[in-house]
Structure 1
Amino acid sequence: MAAATPPPEEAPSASSTAIISPLPTFKPDLFQRAWTSVPHPILPLLATTHAKSVTVFSLATFSKHSALTGGHSRSVRTATWQPGMTPPRLVTGSFDATAGLWSWSGGNATSEKLEREVTLSSTEGGDGDEKEEEEDDWTFNLVLEGHESEVKGVAFSPTGQYLATCSRDKTVWIWEDVGIADGEGEDEWETVAVLSEHDGDVKAVAWCPDVPGRNSRSGGGRSYSSDVLASASYDNTVRIWREDSDGEWVCVAVLEGHDGTVWGLEWETKPREGDKFPRLLTYSADATIRIWTLRDEADDEEEGGPKGGGDGANYAGFGGIPNTMRRSLREDWDCTAVLPQAHTRDIYSVAWSTATGLVASTGSDGIIALYGENAPTAAATSEEAPLEASAKAAAKGWQLLATVSNGHGPYEINHVTWCKRYDLGTERKGEEEMLVTTGDDGIVRPWQVRIP
């Protein structure tokens, strides 16, 4: 269900076409391994997981805003903000095999207290009462239990109604926020599905994003619903899951091509001119980053008709075939690009910018790399071009723009994310983007990115 992949491009010369420069680090330093940093989709807040807690930083001051403590018995590995919730809610995944739901209880979500600028002096000393008050600003509402081992990834669907969790126990669980479904807003969750087809630890999960108007077939639009989940595993594969007509969650595609653990994946969040949205980006211990594209009717017609059955089964992602006529929900995905080689060891994290389309990566070699995609060539967009030529042209569209070595000194970098800037160093607050990296040294480091 996954096509052969093009070879990676050779990296360009040392001369950079972009500049990545460090900004002042977030304070205080955590002084222990930090796993991931997740920006709130609207508020100027950044949640960083480490040890048994989460530190929430202010993006306005690069300093501690509040803390989430006392909910887990082992290290918090991952976190995700629930979309559209007021006051804010955060789900954490822990090595204690549980996921926890937290909600802001310190006042109105738009209050000055929530967005207050916590000074460095107050976070590195202050009196004990103030510190305790800050940590009490978050309430631990609910524990989601079921996994038999560490929870490695958590992700909300675009509406916030569904939560996916994945674990070292080789399973993916899908949970439903019944309170949202009933319109009551209460903390009641139910298990929707347990997916257990992976042969190794499941490292990450990600839902296909919701883009208004993308289901239209006019103007070459592609129909692909937001209730689609992707999972990455130690078994070197990525699986695509969707709900069938009977309400059962099934695996519709297995993406094979990586030669090592697939550490994670990212969906393209915004359609761009000439691309086949939605594309899926995956990264691995084999030090490669691959981009996958769902094959549609036009692709198969060029190759002489549908693959694997001839009944249109692999068109399940599109609106042209009634459910009653589909014998299978199988889909075909092609690896249409392998990004230029920049890393020498495992790639732990990759972030795909919604605003610019730039891709940033980092990993165990301490390198931070930045990639850009050129406008597709005629061969990549022509309906008459064979699939192989399309893949080759698409791959050539990516270039390595810049790299930073030893971004956290000798320490591994566990995570990178794009984040909007609200600090005094930008004139375009809430618009300009920066990179934020999180490492084994316990430092959360922001980076300015400039394209000359």
Structure 2
Amino acid sequence: MDRGGSAELRETHRLVGHADRAWALAWSPNPGAGAGPVLASCGADKTVRIWKRAPDGAWHCSDVLEGVHERTVRSCAWSPDGKLLVDASFDGTAAIWEYSGEDFELVDTLEGHLNEVKSVSWNQSGSMIATCSRDRAAWIWEILPGNEHECVDVLEGHTEDVKMVQWHPFFDVLVSVSYDNTIRVWADDGDGKWPCVQTLTEAGNSGHSSTVWSISFNQKGDRMVTCSDDCTLKIWDTSIDLSQPTIGEGHDSWRHISTLSGYHGRTIFSVHWSSEDVIASGAGDNAICLFAEENSMVEGPSYRLILKKEKAHDMDVNCVRWCPQDPRVLASASDDGTVKLWELRGDILD
């Protein structure tokens, strides 16, 4: 179904290898000079698989990172320089792998969570990692020389599972989303602690009415999008002056500006904002939707559906991620065990 004019989302590759559901995806932000895109996927088969594009355009699995975790690998993320990959597992640990461009070596394991680790994220400088868990807490780890690590704070405030953590693209500000229906913003107080500076809720801030699963920032860092079990996506805007970064100040200014509803029929599990300002969402209705801001005469920003790809997978779409090297390429991961690559074609501004 195409509701946006000439736009089309075409499947270009199907990556098969996971023996169980594929949970999450991460594109390397820096695959190396002359190298093609590199994609990591992780799943319930306790592995992380590395996919590379050959010169002839074909994709292949170059590495399988396995034998470390005892349960599902739920999340994975590359460091900003592309030299380290961290994964998070339901066994309560996160593993850090060093990537030489050819091989992966396990260099460290983060231990401390009392339960399933659901998500992992690097800050913009690569000096810190955030993890979150079913134990209702988010942890911040400082990465030290020699790939050593130290937990610098445990962020407590959520009353249920923390589903995802995501660093702001420019500031050391962390956002967490939870089964308790809330979004929390955490910022460094200058003394090594990370208090919650803002909580976005249904009652107080027009937030979500059910579990919040995912969050993504736009390229400018002045907006973020969240998605939920309530089958909506919500757009948030901040009034902070991004040209004048001040640690810990102004990051409590997020306000709700738009709600997208009626497009997915089941839980929206994943959302990701491309560098071309296209928002992709993946859901339990097996579909992928694409949205973009439109010029409107009404007061305030307005977003429209570009297209909905029905039956994008045979089962739930757990993750969608735009490629940083090619913002028209989208990857998706599903309960059906496959990873698919899509190309967005046509004029998205129609």
Q: CA 1:358–1:15 in 2, change beyond 3 Å: closer, same or farther?
A: closer
Match of 1:310 in 2: none
**Secondary structure of 2:13's match?**
coil
| 1:364-419 deviation line (CA, Å, top 9, x unaligned) | 11111011112465x7xxxxxxxxx4xxx21xx2110101111112x111111112
- Tell whether the 8 Å contact from 2:226 to 2:234 is kept in structure 1 after alignment: yes
1:332 positional shift: 3.5
Between the aligned partners of 1:449 and 1:161, the Cα distance in structure 2 is 34
Match of 2:20 in 1: 32
Q: CA 1:322–1:22 in 2, change beyond 3 Å: closer, same or farther?
A: closer
| 1:236-255 deviation line (CA, Å, top 9, x unaligned) | 00000001133321100001
Q: CA 1:406–1:322 in 2, change beyond 3 Å: closer, same or farther?
A: closer
Match of 1:20 in 2: 9
Pairwise mapping of residues 28-427 of structure 1 onto structure 2 (< 5 A)?
28-43=16-31, 44-50=37-43, 51-60=45-54, 61-85=58-82, 88-104=83-99, 108-109=100-101, 114=102, 137-179=103-145, 186-210=146-170, 226-256=171-201, 257-270=207-220, 277-295=221-239, 331-354=252-275, 356-375=276-295, 389=299, 393-394=300-301, 397-409=302-314, 411-419=315-323
Q: CA 1:142–1:333 in 2, change beyond 3 Å: closer, same or farther?
A: same
Counterpart code for 2:257: T
- Tell whether the 8 Å contact from 2:190 to 2:247 is kept in structure 1 after alignment: no
Match of 2:204 in 1: none
Q: CA 1:283–1:15 in 2, change beyond 3 Å: closer, same or farther?
A: closer
- Tell whether the 8 Å contact from 1:46 to 1:59 is kept in structure 2 after alignment: no
Moved more, 195-204 or 138-147: 138-147
Unpaired segments of 5 or more residues in structure 2? 32-36, 202-206
Counterpart code for 1:238: I
- Tell whether the 8 Å contact from 1:31 to 1:441 is kept in structure 2 after alignment: no
Match of 1:307 in 2: none
Q: CA 1:30–1:318 in 2, change beyond 3 Å: closer, same or farther?
A: closer
Match of 1:183 in 2: none
Aligned-residue sequence identity (percent) comes to 36
Between the aligned partners of 2:84 and 2:27, the Cα distance in structure 1 is 13
Between the aligned partners of 2:149 and 2:319, the Cα distance in structure 1 is 29
1:432 positional shift: 5.5
Q: CA 1:413–1:244 in 2, change beyond 3 Å: closer, same or farther?
A: same
Unpaired segments of 5 or more residues in structure 1? 1-12, 115-136, 180-185, 211-225, 271-276, 298-316, 380-388, 421-429
Between the aligned partners of 1:404 and 1:322, the Cα distance in structure 2 is 41
Q: CA 1:247–1:49 in 2, change beyond 3 Å: closer, same or farther?
A: same
- Tell whether the 8 Å contact from 2:189 to 2:247 is kept in structure 1 after alignment: no
Between the aligned partners of 1:14 and 1:21, the Cα distance in structure 2 is 12
1:340 positional shift: 4.9
- Tell whether the 8 Å contact from 2:84 to 2:96 is kept in structure 1 after alignment: yes
TM (normalized to structure 1)?
0.69
Q: CA 1:351–1:153 in 2, change beyond 3 Å: closer, same or farther?
A: same
1:318 positional shift: 9.2
Match of 2:34 in 1: none
Q: CA 1:258–1:340 in 2, change beyond 3 Å: closer, same or farther?
A: closer
Pairwise mapping of residues 426-441 of structure 1 onto structure 2 (< 5 A)?
430-431=325-326, 433-441=328-336
Counterpart code for 2:136: K
Between the aligned partners of 2:115 and 2:59, the Cα distance in structure 1 is 34
**Secondary structure of 1:408's match?**
coil
Between the aligned partners of 2:92 and 2:289, the Cα distance in structure 1 is 32
- Tell whether the 8 Å contact from 1:56 to 1:67 is kept in structure 2 after alignment: yes
Q: CA 1:322–1:38 in 2, change beyond 3 Å: closer, same or farther?
A: closer
Larger Rg: 1
How many residues are matched?
A: 332
Between the aligned partners of 1:322 and 1:343, the Cα distance in structure 2 is 37
1:95 positional shift: 0.4
> Higher strand proportion, which one?
2
> Higher helix proportion, which one?
1
Counterpart code for 1:201: D
1:20 positional shift: 1.0
**Secondary structure of 1:339's match?**
strand
Q: CA 1:330–1:415 in 2, change beyond 3 Å: closer, same or farther?
A: closer
